[in-house]
Amino acid sequence: MEKSKAMKRDSIATARLLSEALPNIQRHDGAIIVIKLGGHAMSSPEAMKSFARDMVMLRQCNIKPVIVHGGGPMINSMLEKLEIPTEFVNGKRVSTPETVDVVEMVLSGKVNKSIVSAINGQGGRAVGLSGKDANLLVCEQAAGDLGMVGDPVAVNAKVVFSLIESGFIPVIAPLGTGKNGETFNVNGDTAAGAIAGGLKANRLLLLTDVSGVKDADGDVLTNLSAEQVSDLTEKGVISGGMIPKTQTALDAINDGVRAVVIMDGRMANACLLELFTDYGAGSMIRA
C-alpha cells in the first residue's frame, strides 16, 4: 500500500512538471536548436541512451535539434592501436594526412553511427553526415603548425534545412572540405558554432564537463551579454579552456544565433532542463 501511494505521488509530481513545462515548450515551438555533443553524454551507453531519448522528445515537441559531435577519446584510442603518434599544440591536435584519415574513419564511422543508432533506437529518425557532405563546411587551413586543421569559411545550410524539414534529426561529424577537395579536421565546438550561425539557429547548446562560465569567486554566471563576456576575458576571469568556448559563442551570436548556452552535460536530461524549465543548466550568452 505504501509503495502504491509513493508511485501515485511520483505520478502526480510528473504530471505537474509536464504542465509547468508547457509555456517553455510553446516558447521553443519550431525552434532550431544546435547541440554540441561531447564529454559525459558520450561516456557510456546509459548516458547516450538518455541523450537520445531527450532528442526524440524535443522533436516530438516540434523542436528541431541538430547535433554536432566530437570524439577525441575515441580518436586517441584508435591512434594508439595503430601506433600513430599524436602531437598537440596549445591543446589542439596536430592533424597530419595520416591522422586525418583516422579522424575521418572514427568520427564519420563509429562515433557518428553510434549516435544515429541510439536516437533511432528511441523512436527517432536520425541521419548521419559529416561537414564534407554537400560541402556543408568549406574550410581554410587554420593558422599555426596544426597541419590539416580547418577553420570554416562557408556553410551550406541547405542540406541541413532539407533534412530538418523532412522530419529528420541531423547528426554531423566535425569534418570539412577545402576548396581543392582536401579533408580538414575541425574542432567540434567551432563546427557547431559555424553550423548554428549558418542555420540562424534559435539556440546553440555547448555540452561540456563544467557547470558553465564562472566569476572570480567560482560561482556560475547564468546570464551574460556579449559585452560582459569580452570584459571578463580581458580581466582574466574567463581563461584557459573556457576562452575558445566563449569565443565560439560570440562568433555564433555575431552570425545570427539568438543565444548560446555553455552548459553542464554531466547533468541528467540537461537539454530538457535548459529548454523546458526556468532553472536552466549553465551560462546563457546573448547579444
Q: Which domains does the chain have, with CATH numbers?
A: 28-83+99-127+157-173+184-286 (3.40.1160.10)
241 is in an annotated binding site: no
pLDDT at 1 over 60: no
> Considering the entire predicted model, what is its pTM?
0.92
| Tens digits of residue pLDDT in 224-263 | 999 999 999 999 999 888 988 999 999 999 999 999 999 9
Tell me what the mean pLDDT of segment 129-136 comes to.
Answer: 96
203 is in an annotated binding site: no
Out of 49, 72, 109, 121, the active site residue is: 72
What percent of the chain stands above pLDDT 90? 70
- Predicted local confidence at residue 40, as pLDDT: 66
27 is in an annotated binding site: no
As a dihedral over the C-alpha atoms of residue 255, residue 251, residue 106, residue 42, rounded to 10 degrees, the angle is -100
Out of 54, 133, 189, 264, the active site residue is: 189
User: How far apart, in whole angstroms, are the C-alpha atoms of residue 191 and residue 70?
Assistant: 10
72 is in an annotated binding site: yes
User: How far apart, in whole angstroms, are the C-alpha atoms of residue 175 and residue 263?
Assistant: 23
39 is catalytic: yes
| Tens digits of residue pLDDT in 20-32 | 888 999 999 999 9
Mean pLDDT, the chain, whole residue set = 91
Tell me what the mean pLDDT of segment 198-216 comes to.
Answer: 93
Helix and strand tally (H, E) in the chain? 10, 14
Beta carbons within 10 angstroms of residue 6's beta carbon: 10
SS3 (DSSP) at 169 = strand
Between the alpha carbon of residue 43 and those of residues 163, 223, 228, the distances in Å are 27, 28, 33
Confidence of residue 91 (pLDDT cuts 50, 70, 90): low
Instruction: Give the residue, 49 or 209, on which the prediction is more confident.
Output: 49
245 is catalytic: yes
Out of 64, 193, 245, 282, the active site residue is: 245
pLDDT at 222 over 60: yes
